[in-house]
Structures are given as structure tokens and as C-alpha cells.
Amino acid sequence: MSVLVRDRATAQPAPFPSPSRTLEPRRRPSRRTILLASAVVVWILGFVFLHGTSTLTLPASELTDLHRSLNQFNVWVAANRADNPVFLYVLTPLRAGVDAVANLFITTFAASSTGLRLPEIGWLGTVGLLGWIALAIGNARVALLTVTILIFFGFQGLFLEATYTFALVVTAVLLTLLVGIPLGVLAGVYGRVAKLITPVLDFMQTLPTFVYLAPLALIFLIGPASAVIATVIYAAPPVIRLTAHGIRGIPENTREASDSLGTTGVQRLLTLQLPMARRTIVMGINQSTMAALSMVTIAALIAAPGLGQVVVRALQSLDVGTAVNAGLSIVLLAIMLDRVTTAASRRAEPGAARNRRVSRRTRYILLGMTLVLALVMVQFSRTMLWAAAFPANLDIGRVIVQAVSSASEWTQANLSLFTVSFREAVTTGILNPFQSLLTETPFYILVAAIALAAYALGGWKLSALTTACLGVIIYLGLWSDSMVTLAATLVATTVVMVLGIVFGVAMGRSARVDQIMRPMLDAGQTMPAFVYLVPFLGLFGATRFTAIIAGIIYAAPVAIKITADGIAAISPTVVEAAVSSGSTPWQVITKVQLPMARQTLALAANQGLIYVLAMVVVGALVGAGGLGYDVVAGFVQSSLFGKGLAAGLAIVFLGILLDRMTQAAAATPARKIPSPKTSTT
């Protein structure tokens, strides 16, 4: 960010002399530009002269006193679980309730809670029942897709794991909707509630998923409950937001018309607000479902069963074949859930009912008949062994695993010229210098430089906030690790923004490019964060670089979409005016479209940063260092628990810092418009 701004400050030469230049000297750079440039100068000078001093480095296995006392917290919770009233009356019952629901679904679809017996509904029953549900809430196409994908899980040898993941997702989505829809309705109906919960939702969404797993596992113990609760926290914001948005988006005149007939509040909700917001609410359910799948796979880190665990174990043993096989089934599960819920939201569209090809009656008869078929399949799966457990001799998963493994080995062996040299070039050429610029500059110089930049972007308040965030990070004893994470995040975000601008401008300027790219980007966004690591692990091996590439690919769709929308939203008249005065396309882009989309670009950078940060942290699983490594180590080694918790907090504060600074950049106009009259007060 600051690099870009500095460029603007120095790149001032006039392209050609103009007569006005003689009257007016050159345009002076704004105060903000000067401040940002001086922040960079402070930083560089600090690096050059005080290189390597006060870097606050803490070796991976060493702890601070704070970390040790956080370890004590672990012990304290264990000691107080039985008799502290908060645990006794709130947390433990909550855990028991969630566990009960989760176990209900797990025993139905996956296995008995002990894992020894077969599930209530065997694979054939699951295929039949879920296929029927897809038919009932969606259409025949998605039902067929569901059945095919489920059977394919069997062939992959992952049916059991997939049903575990599915059962957890269903539990989490159910609880999410139970909490989220009423909250969304309240926020939609009462502006005051909306004002209250919006900042909370913002915060929940900027929080990297990784961070609250450890504390939750500590409080709710390892098991389905903590995985489900973590998932609910992550998956609830979309459905709350969209429900509220759907209700608030109802045209004022429709609401007024309903009021003019004397509706009570409840009547208004049932006859007007819920039906009219139905489509948006179902879209929220779709987004929450996708978020839930993403989180359930990551919850494998706190021992949630299912596909995520297969991936985690494979990543830890660098078994690319198994990781790809399981990653593929996560992708397929994501596609299945996405398509079915999208079809359901189409069905919920007002007027969808009258455009159907089959009449309502035929549809009911069809549903009744297929339901009977599904129930017969369920019955079979409860009585016959072949229908209960997927036949092992049909397992082609091993073939996939071996093929991928050998392909990956071959790539790493034979294309190393390409992959390794690319990786090394980027690592030594860009990553290492930038990282040492951050880690080897004395911390007080960096704090000063960042505070100065924050002051330039958002005034004293922002400056104080960033300083406080950095202060907390220093207090947590993880300054150096934070700077490693920050370096990776900034490098990845820069690439994301380049991609965002290139593709976003292409999409914003051409409806056809948009049409081609958008479905791909949408698909990219529905994939759980986790699976992005897998293919790059196969290509580049376990390094920091892999995590950064995965982060770039994970964050690029958001940045591209936001930029494209920003470019497309520019009034066509302005562009037309620029073209009619003889601008070349390049001039239109650089002189009109990008400057006008400036705030959108800052917003894209903001979202890109948040996504990249989340992914860079998860990237610790494939060799990225920094805070993510501390968190993962905290999961594994109880002696590092406190440090992992501190690292989680450091990630939160780093996230807040980056979020607020980019938001401030997005909010402030490029230059202050001088107000016409001098201040009257």
C-alpha cells in the first residue's frame, strides 16, 4: 500500500510543458502523500542504520512468561470444568445439547458414536434420501448430481469420511439457521438491533477461522461440539446479514400499503416480510452452508472427524496423493451443497411457481413416488450388508492416490527446473528481502512508521488504534513471527491486487469477459479454504511459497469481483465523454476508470488482505512459518498451548490493524475538496 503511494508521490514529471505551468508552479503533493512518504523514509532509514537491533526475535520453542501463564489457563479450565457455575450451567449443557444433535446426524449417516457400528442409514439409504431431498427442494438435475457425487465418494473410498463431514455440516447449518434467521429478522425489522449486531458480525468475519479453534477446543473439549460451535460462529454472519438485508430491502411503498390495511406486526412479518425476503434468505442459507463446509474441514485441526482430517493428516505427512483424493471429495461436496441450495433459492424466487413445466399436482405425485423409492432404499440399507457399507472392492481411491502421488513426484523431479527455480527466484528475489526489511528493522522504528502512515490515512484515532494493536502484539511476545506473517500477507496481497486490477478491469469493460469469468470466480469462492493448499503442495512442496500461492489463489476471486463491479458501476456517460474526446482505451483505463474506482480498489485490497491473512495462517500446515506455525504447534504440543493462544490473538490484532488501515484508505477521498465558505463556527 505504502509502496504504491510513494510511487505516486515521486512520479511527478510533466509529460509535456503546458502554458499554465508558467503561471502556477507544479502541483504540490498533498499532505497525506508527504506523510506516507515520510513513513516509508523513516522505515528505510531505520532499516539501513539500525539493522538487526531490537528485533524482538523469539525462537520457535521458547516461551515468554505470558505464554507460560496462558498455559496455566489450560490447567485452570481443566480444574474448574466440574464446579465453576459458568461451566456447570451454561457451557456444559450447551456442549451436551450440541453434541446430542451432532451425534444424531452422525449416527444416522456416518456411524454410531463409538464408531464401531454401522450407521442407521447405510450408503444406499443415504444416496436415496439425500437424492430425494435434492429433488424436493431443488430439481431433478441437482438430484442426479447429488446421487452421482455421493456414489463417487464410495468409489473414492471416502464415503464414511464424507458422511461424517456432511453430518457435521448439517448440524452446524441447522443450528446456524436456528440462531441466524431470528437474529436476521430482528435486525431487519428493528434498525436498532441492526446497528448493534453489525459491528459484531464485521468482527466475526474479519477473524481468521483458525484463531478461535484452540480456545473453543479448550472450553468445549475435543469433539463434535467444539467443531460445530466454531462452525456456527463462522457460518452465522452471512445468513444473519442476508436475512436482515432481504427484509430491509422490501420497497417502502409495499410496506406502507400493507400497513395501510391495518396489519399487526406479526401479520406484516408473515404475509409481507418473510415471503418477500424469502429468496434473499435462501441465498443466505446457501452462503452459510458453504462457510460451514469450509469451517468443518478446518475443524479437523481440533479432531473433527471427516474429510478434513484426511487432508490434514496427508498434509502433515506430505502425502499429496491422499490429500488430492480427499481434497477432490471436499470440492465435490462443496459443488453438491452449492448447487442444491442454489436450486432451492431459484425455487424460492417470486413467480418461480408459475414458470414450472410440470404442474403442482404432477410434481407432488412424482415426489411421493420417489419418496417411496428412497424409503425402500433406506430399508434395504438397514437390512442388507451390501447396501449398508459401501463395497470395498469398488474402491478406486487407491488408484487415484497412487496416480496423483506419482504425478506429483514426477513433476517435482522433472519440472524442478521450472517449479523450483520459479519458487527460489521469488523466494530469494522478493520474499526474503521484504521479510528481512520487516523482521530486521527495530520494532520501534516500524511502530513509528506504521503509526505515521495510519495518521496519514485516518487521523489520530486510527494512529492510536494501530499503535495499540502493535503494542498488544509486542506484549504477546510474538513481534518477529507477526512480521513474518505480515510480510507474506503483504506480498500475496500485492499480487492479488495486480490480478484484481488486470482481470477486474477486463471484466468491468467487457460484458463477455465478465460472463466467462464470473462463474469460475463464484466456483472459486465456494471452495473451502483448505483445498487450495493441496495442488500447490504437489507442485512446490512444503514451503512458505506454497502457502503464499494458495493465499493468492484463494483471495484473488474476491478482489477481482469487487474491482470488476467497481469498474462496471462507473457511469457510462463519463466513459463515453472520455472516448468522445479522443482517449485511447489505455487512457480511459488509467485516467478515468481506475481513478474513479479508487475507493472500490481500496475495498478490494481490504477484502483481499483479510482473505490472504486467513490463508497464510492456514498455510502453516504446509510449511509457512510465523504466527500460523505457532497456532498449529499449539494444537499439537500442550507445552506450546499458551504460545499458540497468544499467536491466535496476535493474528486477530494484526487482522484488525490491516482491516482498519485499508478501510480508512477506502473511506477517505483522494484529496480534500476545499469547502466554498470558511468555517462559520
Partner 1 sequence: MNSPDISVRNLWKVFGPGGDQIPGNPELSGLNSAELLERTGCNAAVRDLSFDVAKGEVFVVMGLSGSGKSTLIRCLTRLIEPTSGQVLVDGKDVLQAGMAELRELRRRKMSMVFQHFGLLPHRTVLDNVSYGLQIRGAAKKERFTRAREIIELVGLKGYEQHYPDQLSGGMQQRVGLGRALAGDPDTILFDEPFSALDPLIRRDMQAEVIRLHKEMGKTMVFVTHDLSEALKLGDRILIMRNGETVQCGTGDELVGSPADKYIEDFVSEVLRADVLTLKWITRPVEAATPADAPVLSSRMIIRDAIAAVMQSPCPVLVEDSGRITGQIDRDSILSVLQRTEAAA
The set of cell numbers assigned to 229 is 460451535
Binding partner 1 (rule: CB under 8 A), the pick from 20, 114, 264, 573 is 264
* Pick 118 or 274: Cβ nearer partner 1: 274
Which of these ranges, 24-32, 251-259, 605-613, 639-647, lies near partner 1 under the rule CB under 8 A? 251-259
Distances (CA, A) of 5 to 36, 486, 612: 7, 19, 21
* Pick 278 or 363: Cβ nearer partner 1: 278
Phi, psi (deg, nearest 5) at residue 350: -60, 135
Write the binding mask 293 to 332 for partner 1: x where contact by CB under 8 A, - elsewhere: ----------------------------------------
Which of these ranges, 187-195, 240-248, 253-261, 469-477, lies near partner 1 under the rule CB under 8 A? 253-261
Binding partner 1 (rule: CB under 8 A), the pick from 24, 256, 357, 361 is 256
* Pick 75 or 353: Cβ nearer partner 1: 353
Binding partner 1 (rule: CB under 8 A), the pick from 18, 61, 271, 406 is 271
Question: Which residues fall within 8 angstroms of residue 104, CB to CB, at 6 or more apart?
Answer: 171
Binding partner 1 (rule: CB under 8 A), the pick from 18, 53, 112, 267 is 267
Integer Rg of the chain from CA: 27
In the complex, the smallest distance separating the C-beta of residue 189 from partner 1, rounded to whole angstroms, is: 16
Q: Which residues of 156-168 are buried (b: 16+ CB within 10 A; e: fewer)?
A: bbbbbbbbbbbbb
* Pick 188 or 208: Cβ nearer partner 1: 188
Residue 276 within binding range of partner 1, rule CB under 8 A = yes
Distance CA 395, CA 629 (A): 35
Q: By rule CB under 8 A, what count of residues binds partner 1?
A: 22
Distance CA 358, CA 337 (A): 24
Q: Are 152 and 236 in contact (CB under 8 A)?
A: no
CB-side neighbour CA atoms (13 Å) of 187: 24
Residue 266 within binding range of partner 1, rule CB under 8 A = no
Give the helix/strand (H/E) hosting 132: helix 123-137
* Pick 267 or 584: Cβ nearer partner 1: 267
Binding partner 1 (rule: CB under 8 A), the pick from 263, 379, 411, 668 is 263
Which of these ranges, 255-263, 379-387, 542-550, 594-602, lies near partner 1 under the rule CB under 8 A? 255-263
- SS3 for 54-110 is CCCCCCCCCCCHHHHHHHHHHHHHHHHCCCCHHHHHHHHHHHHHHHHHHHHHHHHHH
Residue 518 within binding range of partner 1, rule CB under 8 A = no
Distance CA 422, CA 441 (A): 28
Which of these ranges, 258-266, 456-464, 617-625, 652-660, lies near partner 1 under the rule CB under 8 A? 258-266
Task: Compute CA 29 distance to the chain's CA centroid, rounded to the nearest angstrom.
Answer: 37
Residue 272 within binding range of partner 1, rule CB under 8 A = yes
Residue 598 within binding range of partner 1, rule CB under 8 A = no
Write the binding mask 330 to 369 for partner 1: x where contact by CB under 8 A, - elsewhere: --------------------xx--x---------------
* Pick 263 or 379: Cβ nearer partner 1: 263
The conformation of residue 352, written as its DSSP 8-state character, comes to G
Distance CA 585, CA 591 (A): 10
In the complex, the smallest distance separating the C-beta of residue 259 from partner 1, rounded to whole angstroms, is: 6
Residue 259 within binding range of partner 1, rule CB under 8 A = yes
The conformation of residue 476, written as its DSSP 8-state character, comes to T
CB-side neighbour CA atoms (13 Å) of 236: 22
In the complex, the smallest distance separating the C-beta of residue 538 from partner 1, rounded to whole angstroms, is: 49
Residue 673 within binding range of partner 1, rule CB under 8 A = no
* Pick 26 or 361: Cβ nearer partner 1: 361
Residue 191 within binding range of partner 1, rule CB under 8 A = no
Question: Which residues fall within 8 angstroms of residue 550, CB to CB, at 6 or more apart?
Answer: 532, 533, 536, 615, 619, 622
Question: Which residues fall within 8 angstroms of residue 79, CB to CB, at 6 or more apart?
Answer: none
Closest listed residue to residue 588, CA positions, set 510, 533, 530: 510
Q: Are 194 and 187 in contact (CB under 8 A)?
A: yes
Residue 409 within binding range of partner 1, rule CB under 8 A = no
In the complex, the smallest distance separating the C-beta of residue 262 from partner 1, rounded to whole angstroms, is: 3
* Pick 264 or 675: Cβ nearer partner 1: 264
The set of cell numbers assigned to 48 is 539501513
Q: Are 459 and 672 in contact (CB under 8 A)?
A: no
In the complex, the smallest distance separating the C-beta of residue 395 from partner 1, rounded to whole angstroms, is: 48
* Pick 251 or 669: Cβ nearer partner 1: 251
Binding site residues, partner 1, CB under 8 A = 251, 253-264, 267, 271-272, 275-276, 278, 350-351, 354
